[in-house]
Amino acid sequence: MTNIVELCDVRKSYHQVHALEKLDLTLTEGEVLGLFGHNGAGKTTTIKLILGSITATSGSVRVFGTDPTLAGAREKRKSLGFLQENVSFYEQLSGYEVLRYFARLKGIRPSECQRLLDQVGLSDAVHRRVKTYSKGMRQRLGLAQALLGEPKLLLLDEPTVGLDPLATRDFYSLIQSLKEQGCTVILCSHVLPGVEKYIDRAAILGKGRLLAEGSIAQLREHACLPLTLKVRGKNIQIPAGLNYLPHIQQDEVLLQLLPHEKMSAMQSLMQQEGLSDFDLHLPSLEDLYSHYIEKMTGVGGTACI
């Protein structure tokens, strides 16, 4: 596996303001990375560094093996796709004309444009002016633009903003198929629910620092957040030493377990005859995100035993 993106001890500061500090991040071919963080956490700075739009104050940035700010890296941008937040294209042009302009700049045949516009579901609005497009349609056009020329690296900043649930699902299945073709994807998002299924790894940024990085399973293990087990049944004996919430409603018990307690607790519960149903809730990406952000700001935070 080759490394598509390598950030090594990268710092970026703008006039005494540290936008990024000591960032290390590596992406291999065909990997989908979710980049999460609060506003001003350094997501956009990270993206711009990878794009080569800005130079790092210190540390090294390598994209496709070269420094993206060098003139020699310009040709490699043909295999790079980028969709930024809040892009408003040339209002007076039609969707097709906008895409054709970008295709020409990338040296791609204009015949590709129609196919991409069909793919993102803009077939009916191809010849309408962008001025008349809704937010979701603009987002689709932006996506078509990012997909020009079968990119090997896709950087998507808030790609699903303005998309309806069906379009969002289509978008993620598109990402899935691109990933299967070997495309590396970086996904920046505020919209956490639903993303976890589609990403291989998550990186959580806060105040310019990398707070956590890894697959969801790794993050769960590292964060040691309790999982919730909802048990329903008659005469349930709760195994000794387990921490349960004082939420006993008729036949329902809510248990909070640490990851390493899960299996033994479940085994002992399963053997009980009165058990009629149970529901296991693992910490979601949202839970993990708030855990790390709270830990950074010093609010709450659970210690791992």
Partner 1 sequence: MYLVLVVAGKEFQDGLRNRWVVAIAFILALLATGLAYFGSAASGQVGFSSLSSTIVSLASLAVFIIPLIALMLAYDGIVGEDENGTLLLLLTYPLSRWQLLCGKMFGHGLIMAFSTLTGFTTSACIMAIFSDELQWLDMLAPFSVFIGSAILLGWVFVAIAYVISTTVTEKSKAAGIALVVWFLFVLVFDLGLLGILVSTEGNVDAKWFPYLLLLNPTDIFRLINITYFADQQLSGLMAVVEHARFSIGSLMGGLLLWFLIPAVVAWVSFSRRAL
| Sites of contact with partner 1 (CB under 8 A) | 48, 51-54, 71, 74-75, 77-78, 80, 82, 84, 86-90, 92-93, 101-102, 104-107, 145
- Rounded least distance, CB 91 to partner 1, Å: 9
CA distances from residue 233 to 136, 241, 250, 261, 276 in whole angstroms, order as listed: 47, 20, 9, 21, 5
Which of these, 75, 73, 34, lies nearest to 50 by C-alpha position? Answer: 73
Evaluate the CA torsion angle 258, 188, 59, 147 in order and state its sign. positive
- Rounded least distance, CB 213 to partner 1, Å: 24
Pairing type for strands 201-206 and 209-214 reads antiparallel
- Rounded least distance, CB 167 to partner 1, Å: 21
- Rounded least distance, CB 51 to partner 1, Å: 5
Nearer to partner 1, 130 or 265 (CB): 130
Nearer to partner 1, 101 or 198 (CB): 101
- Rounded least distance, CB 23 to partner 1, Å: 19
Nearer to partner 1, 80 or 253 (CB): 80
Distance of CA 177 to the CA centre of its chain: 16
Tokens of residue 178, six digits = 């691109």
DSSP string, 65-133: TB-TTSGGGTGGGGGEEEE-TT----TTSBHHHHHHHHHHHHT--THHHHHHHHHTT-GGGTTSBGGG-
- Rounded least distance, CB 157 to partner 1, Å: 10
Nearer to partner 1, 72 or 193 (CB): 72
Nearer to partner 1, 71 or 305 (CB): 71
Nearer to partner 1, 27 or 83 (CB): 83
